[in-house]
Amino acid sequence: MNLPELQQEVDAWASRNFPTDTRETVVLGLAEETGELCRAALKRFQGIRGTQDEWYEEVRKEAGDIFLKLLHIASTWDFDLEEAVLERWETIKQRDFVKDPKGHGLPSN
């Protein structure tokens, strides 16, 4: 399966399960998922309420949830996530914060 196919599957699943979602509620869901990832990373760092391995698996799971939520956002906002990521990568990969640690990291023209 490729990313656009997965985006379509996620969209169909989300439309069926959350038919009243709006663009805004879908984006807010990303904040919820991100909070769950942050909680797992923090608890792993603190070494509480689970083992390092358990929290590692939780971080992995929540990262997957975030990626799926990003696909849902892309569908809800009518864009192809793969295309958006590749477009951003073209700019971001030019940044060099070792050479420009106080600026934007982009080469001067």
Which CATH topology does 3-78 take? Answer: Helix Hairpins (1.10.287)
**Mean pLDDT in residue range 30-58:** 97
User: End-to-end distance of the chain based on CA atoms, in angstroms?
Assistant: 40
Domain residue limits, the chain: 3-78, 79-109
* Over residues 93-98, mean pLDDT: 91
Is residue 108 over pLDDT 80?
Answer: no
Q: Are 105 and 92 in contact (CB under 8 A)?
A: no
Report if pTM > 0.85.
yes
Whether residue 56 contacts residue 44, with contact meaning beta carbons closer than 8 Å, is answered with: yes
Q: What is the mean pLDDT of the chain?
A: 95
Q: What is the DSSP letter of 93?
A: T
Q: Per-residue pLDDT tens for 53-68?
A: 999 999 999 999 999 9
Q: Which among 69, 47, 65 is positioned nearest to 56, based on CA atoms?
A: 47
